[in-house]
Chains A and B, each alone.
Chain A
Amino acid sequence: MITFEQVSVHYHDAAEPTLRGVDLTVPEGELCLLVGPSGSGKSTLLGTVSGLVPHFTGGVLHGRVTVGGRDTRAHRPRELADLVGTVGQDPLAHFVTDTVEDELAYGMESLGLAPEVMRRRVEETLDLLGLADLRDRALSSLSGGQQQRVAIGSVLTTHPKVLVLDEPTSALDPGAAEDVLAVLQRLVHDLGTTVLMAEHRLERVVQYADQVLLLPGGGATPVLGDPAEVMAHSPVHPPVVALGRAAGWSPLPLSVRDARRRAAPLRARLAGRTPPPTPTATGEPVLSVQRLTVRRGPVPALRGVDLDLRAGEITALMGRNGAGKSTLLGSLVGLHQPASGTVRVGGLTPHRTRPQELIRRIGLVPQDPRDLLYAETVAAECAAADQDAGAAGNTEPGTCRALVSRLLPGIDDALHPRDLSEGQRLTLALAVVLTSRPGVILLDEPTRGLDYAAKGRLVEILRGLAADGHAVLLATHDVELAAELAHRTVILADGEVVAGGPTAQVVVSSPAFAPQVAKVLTPLPWLTVRQITDALDDSL
Chain B
Amino acid sequence: MPKLRTTRSPVGPRQLHPGAWWIWALGLGAAASRTTNPLLLLLIVGVAGYVVAARHGDAPWARSYGAFLKLGLAVLGLRMAFAILLGSPIPGSHVLLDLPQLPLPTWAKGVRIGGAVTLEGLLFALYDALKLATLLICVGAANALASPARLLRALPGALYEAGVAAVVAMTFAPNLIADVQRLRAARRLRGRSDRGVKSLLSVGLPVLEGALERSVGLAAAMDCRGFGRTVDVPRGTARTTAALTLAGLLGVCVAAYGLLTADGSAWALPLLLFGLAAAGGGLLLGSRRAVRSRYRPDPWAVREWLVAGSGVAVAGLLVWLSGLDPAAFTPSVVPPVAPRLPLLPALAVLIGLLPAVAAPQPPSPTSSPSSPSQPGRAS
Contacts and interface: CB of A to CB of B under 8 A. Distances in A.
Contacts of A372: 186, 189-190
B226 interface: yes
Contacts of A330: 185
A441 to B, nearest CB: 12
Contacts, number: 199
Contacts of B11: none
A258 interface: no
Given A110-B292, A118-B293, A137-B369, A78 B185 contact: no
B373 interface: yes
A322 B372 contact: yes
A527 interface: no
Contacts of B206: 370-371, 374
A76 B214 CA distance: 21
A498 interface: yes
Interface string B246-276: 0000000000000000000000000000000
B188 A333 contact: yes
Contact of A81 (B191, B214, B224): B224
Contacts of B183: 371
Interface residues of B, number: 60
B149 A138 contact: no
Interface string B164-200: 1000100100000000001101111111111000000
Interface in A266-306: 298-299
Interface string B360-376: 00010111011011111
B98 interface: no
A388 B294 contact: no
Interface in B266-299: 291-296
Interface in A488-540: 491, 493, 498-499, 510-513
B165 to A, nearest CB: 11
A109 B293 contact: yes
A116 interface: yes
Contact of B378 (A84, A113, A384, A510): A510
B374 A320 contact: yes
A143 B217 contact: no
A155 B293 contact: no
A359 B369 contact: no
A299 B294 contact: no
A4 B209 CA distance: 34
A93 B149 CA distance: 18
Nearest to B171: A98
A433 interface: yes
B296 A389 contact: no
A395 to B, nearest CB: 11
A253 B201 CA distance: 55
B59 interface: yes
A385 B229 CA distance: 49
A430 B189 CA distance: 11
Contacts of B60: 138, 140
Contacts of B147: 98
B228 interface: yes
B276 to A, nearest CB: 27
A13 interface: no
B292 A432 contact: no
B296 A142 contact: no
B295 A355 contact: no
A115 interface: yes
A480 interface: no
A71 interface: no
A142 B373 CA distance: 9
A138 B57 CA distance: 12
Contacts of B369: 137-138, 141
Contact of A115 (B59, B205, B295, B379): B295
A94 B221 contact: yes
B186 A371 contact: yes
Contact of A366 (B171, B189, B202, B205): B189
B145 to A, nearest CB: 16
Nearest to B170: A98
A116 B6 contact: yes
A109 B186 contact: no
Nearest to B60: A138
A76 B224 CA distance: 9
A64 to B, nearest CB: 20
Contacts of B189: 333, 355, 359, 363-364, 366, 372, 433
A11 to B, nearest CB: 15
B222 interface: yes
Contacts of A491: 379
30 contacts: A52-B220, A79-B229, A86-B224, A88-B217, A93-B217, A94-B221, A105-B295, A105-B296, A111-B226, A111-B229, A111-B291, A112-B291, A119-B6, A119-B295, A135-B366, A136-B366, A137-B365, A142-B372, A158-B226, A175-B377, A355-B187, A355-B192, A355-B194, A374-B203, A384-B190, A389-B191, A391-B191, A493-B377, A511-B378, A512-B379
